Structure 1
Amino acid sequence: MGKLYFKLAKTNLSNNKPFYIPYIISSIITVAMLYMMSFLSDNKGLNKIMGADSLATIFRLGVGIIVIFSYIFLFYTNSFIIKRRKKEIGVYNILGMEKRHLSKVLFVETIYSAIISLVCGIIVGIVFSKFILMVLYGIIGIHKTVEFFVNIHGIILCVVSFGILFLLTFLYNFMQIKLANPIELLRGTNVGEREPKTKIFMTIVGVVCLAIAYYIAITTENPLNVLTLFFVAVLLVIIGTFALFTAGSIALLKLLRNNKKFYYNKRHFMAVSGMLYRMKQNAAGLASICILSTMVLVVISTTVSMYVGIQDELMARYPNDVCVTVDYNSVIDKSSEIEKAIFDEIDSAEVKNKKAFSYLSVFVGQKGDNFTTDKEHLSYQNSYLFYILSKDDFIKRDNSFKDKIGNISKGEAVVVLNKKYDKKDIKIFGKNYKVNKSFEHMEDNDLYMISTLNGLGYIILDNDESVQELYDMQEKMLGKGANYYTNKIRFDFKSGNKKQKAAAYKKIDNAVKKYFKENKNDKKEISSYWVESRQENEQNFYLLYGGLFFLGIFLGTMFLIVTVMIIFYKQITEGYDDRERYQILEKVGMSSREVKDTIKSQIRIVFVLPIFAAAVHVTAAFPMVNRILKMLNLNNEKLFAGCLAATIIVFAVIYYLVFKVTSRAYYKIVK
């Protein structure tokens, strides 16, 4: 009896090749992708690279995403297959096979699918893992020997994850058989033939959800709110998309049906009527295609733009070749002494754009039109950073303001802010200053800081004594050690390649360390000090953004495969459902050409709706995604827009090719 189950299982899989071959191929690909991502996250060669912690984190995130989407995707495609096979299983049941026998056949089929998927997937993953690592090394600019090994942890992860997945699909299929009687199984592919009702409430829910999501995406300005509200907006878009495709599509099809001129056309009649009666199951597929298409467009465009714009991001984060920062526990300016220590090690004639200045940092909140240091108004969602400094220090920082500021009297302040400030006074730590002048201005050097704040500005006072007064007030209000006074020295090298500049940075770093070691009194006064170099951090940027780019392409490819397979199964399943209808139409006089035109009309409707909705979603999401990219140092909006446009064009071409292939397959089935 046991051999019979295995024989039946083999026969069933062979007879259902059009459904099982794409399913198993998809399973093999997802297993291979999971193994390769696990291989990268555990790779010993990557772990030896400085800054590789960020890469490991990125790849662990990728492992989790692949597992989640594998479950969603394979469950979804499995539901198409079991629906298609219900009639076949019903015949077995009527011919005398009990449900327990059928469940054993299904279990053997699942075992066959699981073994083929896991064995082939792991082999493919092992074979291509070294190639994938070489691609990653090329992206992040690492020139080292690629270390190859068989990742036992990755194999275990694949076996456990997909073993549970195939077990769950078997249980789902078993419940489908157990809860249905033979007649229901025989009619399984025709379930849902009643005309669906127009669901006004669901349509309203969909419109409201999308309207709120679009409003959040377009209007949210606060950087930290962008991060928290982004996921809220994504959830609302998913809910709204499913609601509108489920309810709104039915309303649209009924409107088309009520348009007699459009509906009573041989090209449109069968397409509209057929889709209307199956819209409940159709809508879920269309919504899934729309959401996945949106994910492909957003993930690939953002990661590509971040990778292409690495130099822009590096310049935003490190505007100078070298920056020395010293935080003191009192108002001290040791810039000249630190400069001397630096230029004793390197030739001062070899540097340019040298600036040395000092300032007091103050975080404030906004209360109406005023800024305040009151704790109840000071939060991350409502934060401004003010640099308080003397007129001389500000001119050292930005010489372009030398002739603009003019004279500043005691008790007066000049305000330079990234947005318009038209108030007559400004109050800091209880002390009120009359605004002498105000400027709306922001330097490229401040883009990194402003990306995570509501605003950033400078309060320019007459001299260091006035700055000292505010320092004392801040210390009295917040306590000793809660504030610090910063000396900053930054400059660029006139010449030299990356290697030479990195070597000069090493000398500068050692010179600063040596200075504070020899000047113990200064060491007691300092809160912290550090030296930053653009060249020294360039590799870390390539690791981070290159890793994100690699993950984006990797996951984007997976989402694209999922999208294509959902379209394929959806069209193939509907082809079998529509075959009898079109055969009847041919028998009553419709020509083969007219049938083909009708099929094209239906498939066009099916294909245009998801991609059109995805384009609308991406357009609405652009402002919010752009703000998130600014937090990741990418301020080049044109670059992101260009990458997004290129991604949409490439995706549209692939989408069109899928349309051509599935329309042919659909037509062959119908014929």
Structure 2
Amino acid sequence: MNNIYVRLAKTNIQNNRQLYLPYIISGIVTVMMFYLMMFINNNPGLKSIPGSVNLITIMALGVGIITIFAYIFIFYTNSFIIKRRKKEIGVYNILGMEKRHIARVLGLETVFVAMLAIAGGILSGIIFSKLILMLLYRMLGFQESVSFYITKAGIAWAVIVFGVLYVLTLLYNLLQIRLANPIELLHGGNVGEKEPKTKGVIAVAGAACLAVAYYIAITTENPMEVLMKFFLAVVLVIIGTYFLFTAGSIAILKMLRKNKKFYYNKKHFTAVSGMLYRMKQNAAGLASICVLSTMVLVMISMTVSMFAGVDDELKERYPYELSYSVDADKIEENTDCQEIYQTITDTIAKQGREITDSSMFSYFQLFMKREGSMFEFIDHETDFAELSEVTFLTRENLLAYDSSLKPADVPEPEAGKIDIYSKNGYDESVFCYLGQDFAIDHSFRYESEADAYLSGKDSLYVVADEATLSRMYELQIAAGANADGSGMYSLYRTEMNFEYDGTKEEKLACEDAVSKAISTHGLDDSGYLSSRTENEKSFYVLYGGLFFLGVFLGIMFLMVTVMIIFYKQISEGYDDRERYIIMEKVGMSNAEVKASIQSQIRIVFFLPLVMAAVHVAAAFPMIRRLLAMLNLTNVPLFVTCLLVTILVFTAIYYLVFRITSRAYYKIVSR
């Protein structure tokens, strides 16, 4: 008896291979991607890479994302398959098979599919693991031999995660069969939809969600707000997209139906009426395709541009080859910085390197809350996004801080007075600092490159002579800054920057010599030395890892998008088959049927793509600011990567359109 169930399960899979083959292949690819992520994450050679902590974190994030989307994707495609097979299962029920017998057949089918997907995915992952690791090392510029390695943890977790997933799909299928009677099962694949009502409130709500999301993306400039509001905007876009496709598409189709010139056309009549009556089930699929397409475009374009511009990002993060900063609690404690500067200069020269650029400047800085001309310490109730970042320095230090400024454009403030350089402009007549007024000599609108990463509302540079700055620094100490538990801490910082020639090895040797020379002054505990070349490897690991993950997940999202489109077209092909047979019987020619099909598929296919392009265009300002926080300020590079990504994705999308429309037509024409 058991052999009968086994043969029946195998026969069912073979007879429904048009549905099961893509389902099994998708399962194999998903399991393979999961295993590869686990393989990279658990590879012992990864720990020898500089910055491996960031890379391991990125890969762990990839494992989580793949798991979430695997569950969503497999459940989504399984629902299409069980819907198409309800009629077949209903026939079994009518012929005398009890539901427990059908459950046993479905269970065996699930076991076969799960075994093929999990075993095939793990085997494929093992086969391609070494190649994937070699590609990753190549991206990171890491010269290391790659040995063959099988991760037991990857195999174990793949079996557990996907075993549970296929058990859940079986439970879902059994629930569908248990709750339906044989007649319902017979007609389960051909259940018609009533004409949906126009839901104006939902359509307006969808438009409102998108409008708010677009407004947030376009107007948000503060980096901290960008981080906080980005996910809010994403959620609003997803909700708005589903609402618009659910309610807005129905409203549009009814408007097209009212347009007699458009509607009473052989190409459009059946397409519009067919989509209108099935828009409830269509909307979720179209919205999913739109959201996934947007994710593919954003993720791949961002990670590709970050990896392509990694040299620019490195220079943006480390403008000078060598930087040394010293912090002191009091201004007078910073007096030996000139000696350190000279020591660094002499050490670089002794190493045979030529200094091409250098600078040294001092300042102190505070985040403060502002009310008009009054600037006070922050408290626990202060909104961080409303703070003003105030930097205090002399005229000479401002010129050294920003080499793009011309001396003629930076006047010397009168003794005892201050000049203010502000991003948003400063229109007050005085500067009330911790309860004491300071007269303003000049006020200028000014924004430095560092303000691109500004986390507060505004940035102000207070320029004064050394005596006035000393008085202002002592004023903040007296007001409680730097006191234990005060929450306000301000240091007088001196930064020294050097750019010099040489190969990477020579620059690293020079940095090591400078580090040893500084330690002889006894200030190495209060200072921080950074080198661009020394941090280059970890920088490439971080951005290379993000690029690898972006492309990896982009491929997965693309696969999910393609499979949703495929199953949607196959399912609708079977739904529309009887309708078009009737249309041919009443006089519609084969060519007219084909033209009607093409009209319907074009609308269904390209509407999500157009909507995804609109989403990406609206999100561009926010994405640009996010990239600036990740040190990528090369906007033309990102635009180029985005346009190339859109073109490649559109080409793939069109190819899927051609293939699935042919499959749809074959089903209908039978």
Give the alignment's TM-score, normalised by structure 1: 0.95
What is the DSSP-based 3-state SS (H/G/I as helix, E as strand, rest coil) of the residue aligned with 2:273? helix
Q: Provide the aligned length of Structure 1 versus Structure 2.
A: 659
Amino acid in the other structure paired with 1:11: T
Distance of aligned partners of 1:665 and 1:591 in 2 relative to their CA distance in 1, 3 Å threshold: same
Contact 1:361/1:385 (8 A) holds in 2: yes
Deviates more, 1:614-623 or 1:432-441: 432-441
In structure 1, the partner of 2:339 is 337
- Residues 258-316 of structure 1 show CA distances to partners (whole Å, capped at 9, x for unaligned) of 11111111111111111111111111100000000000001001111111111221111
Q: Residues 561, 343 of structure 1: CA spacing in aligned structure 2 closer, same or farther, 3 A cutoff?
A: same
Question: 458, 461, 467: which is aligned to 2:461?
Answer: 458
1:278 and 2:268 aligned: no
- Look up the equivalent residue of 2:73 and give its one-letter code: F
8 Å contact kept, 2:363–2:392 = yes
Distance (Å, rounded) in 2 between the aligned partners of 1:480 and 1:211: 45
2:557: which partner in 1? 559
> What secondary structure does 1:403 align onto?
helix
State how 1:104-183 maps to structure 2 within 5 Å.
104-183=104-183
Q: Does the CA contact (< 8 Å) of 2:326 and 2:493 recur in 1?
A: yes
Over 3 Å counting, the alpha-carbon distance change for 1:418 and 1:502 in structure 2 is farther
Aligned pairs for 1:396-435 (under 5 A) are 396-398=400-402, 400-435=405-440
Tell me whether 420-429 or 2-11 shows the greater mean CA deviation. Answer: 420-429
CA distance in 1, matches of 2:461, 2:328: 19
**CA-based RMSD:** 1.7
- Structure 1 stretch displaced more, 410-419 or 230-239: 410-419
SS of structure 1 residue aligned to 2:197: coil
- For the pair 1:487 / 2:494, whether they are aligned, the reply is yes
1:461-476 maps to which residues of 2 (within 5 A)? 461-463=464-466, 465-476=467-478
Residue in 2 aligned with 1:100?
A: 100
Gaps of 5+ in 1: 517-521
Contact 1:366 1:377 in 2 (8 A): no
2:245–2:284 Cα contact (<8 Å) kept: yes
1:192 shift after superposition = 3.9
> What whole-Å deviation, never above 9, does each CA across 1:116-142 have from its counterpart, x for those lacking one?
001110000010111111111111111
Larger CA deviation: 340-349 vs 5-14: 340-349
Give the C-alpha shift of residue 222 in structure 1.
1.6
Distance verdict in 2 for CA 1:168–1:496, change over 3 Å: same
Paired with 2:261 and 2:394, the residues of 1 have a C-alpha distance of 77
Return closer, same or farther for 1:398/1:280 CA change in 2, 3 Å cut-off: closer
Residue type at the aligned position of 2:455: T
- CA drift of 1:511 comes to 1.5
Q: How does 1:188-199 map to 2 (within 5 A)?
A: 188-199=188-199
Q: 1:80 to 1:272 in 2, by over 3 A?
A: same
Report the counterpart of residue 550 of structure 1 in structure 2: 548
Please tell me whether the aligned partners of residues 322 and 533 of structure 1 are also in contact (alpha carbons under 8 angstroms): yes
Question: Partner of 1:519 in structure 2?
Answer: none
Cα drift, residue 594 of structure 1: 1.1
Letter in 1 for 2:424: K
Contact 2:508 2:534 in 1 (8 A): yes
Q: Deviations over 1:102-157 (max 9, x none)?
A: 11110000000000001110000010111111111111111111133101111111
CA-CA distance at 1:622 after TM superposition: 0.9
Answer whether contact 2:373 2:430 (CA < 8 A) is retained.
no
Query: Which of residues 516, 538, 549 is equivalent to 1:510?
Result: 516
Q: Return the offset for 1:374.
A: 4.2
What letter matches 1:563 in structure 2?
T
Is this contact kept in 2: 1:342–1:512, CA < 8 A?
yes
Distance 2:624 2:444 in 1: 26
Q: CA deviation at 1:381?
A: 1.5
Q: Does 1:324 align with 2:324?
A: yes
2:588 to 579, 586, 590: 590
1:154-303 correspondence runs (5 A): 154-303=154-303
Equivalent residue of 1:326, what SS? strand
Q: Return the letter of the residue paired with 1:357.
A: F
Distance 1:20 1:375, change over 3 A: same
For 1:670 and 1:333, locate their aligned partners in 2 and report how far apart those are by CA, in whole Å.
Answer: 86
2:542 partner SS: helix
Range with bigger deviation, 428-437 or 221-230: 428-437
Query: What is the SS of the residue equivalent to 1:150?
Result: coil
Task: Give the distance between the partners of 2:595 and 2:167, measured in 1 at CA.
Answer: 43
SS in 2 for 1:347: helix
| d(CA) in 2 for partners of 1:154, 1:580 | 47
Secondary structure in structure 1 of the residue aligned to 2:361: strand
Look up the equivalent residue of 1:373 and give its one-letter code.
F
Native 8 Å contact 2:373 2:432 kept in 1: no
- Structure 1 540/383 Cα, relative in aligned 2: closer, same or farther at 3 Å? farther
Does the 8 Å contact 1:208/1:240 carry over to 2? yes
TM superposition score normalised by structure 2: 0.95
440, 443, 448: which one aligns with 1:438: 443
Question: Is 2:89 the counterpart of 1:86?
Answer: no
Q: CA deviation at 1:377?
A: 7.3
Q: CA deviation at 1:11?
A: 0.8
Pair 192,370 (structure 1): closer, same or farther in 2 beyond 3 Å: farther
SS of equivalent residue, structure 1 residue 515? coil
How far residue 50 of structure 1 moved from its aligned partner, in angstroms, is: 1.7
Distance in 2 separating the partners of 1:407 and 1:212: 46
The answer to whether the Cα contact below 8 Å between 1:45 and 1:147 also exists between their aligned partners in 2 is no
Change in Cα spacing, 1:370 to 1:604, as seen in structure 2 (3 Å) is farther
Kindly indicate whether the alpha-carbon contact (under 8 Å) linking 2:224 and 2:385 is maintained by their aligned counterparts in 1: yes
How far does residue 368 in structure 1 lie from its aligned partner after superposition?
A: 5.2
**Cα deviations by residue, 1:357-416 (Å, 9 ceiling, x for unpaired):** 211112223335764434367542123322211233334434644333333223311122
Supply the AA of the counterpart residue of 2:141.
Answer: G
Equivalent-residue separation in structure 2 for 1:6 and 1:24 (angstroms): 18
Using the alignment, how far apart are the partners of 1:508 and 1:628 within structure 2?
A: 35
* Cα 1:184/1:278, change in 2 over 3 Å: same
Once the 2 structures are TM-superposed, how far is the Cα of residue 469 of structure 1 from its aligned partner? 1.4
Whether the 8 Å contact between 1:192 and 1:280 is mirrored in structure 2 is no
Q: Structure 1, residues 196-254: CA drift from partner, whole Å, max 9, x if none?
A: 11112211221111111111111112211111111111111111111111111111111
Aligned to 2:388: 384
Is the Cα contact below 8 Å between 1:367 and 1:377 reproduced in 2? no
CA contact (8 A) 1:365 1:377 kept: no
Q: Which amino acid aligns with 1:470?
A: M
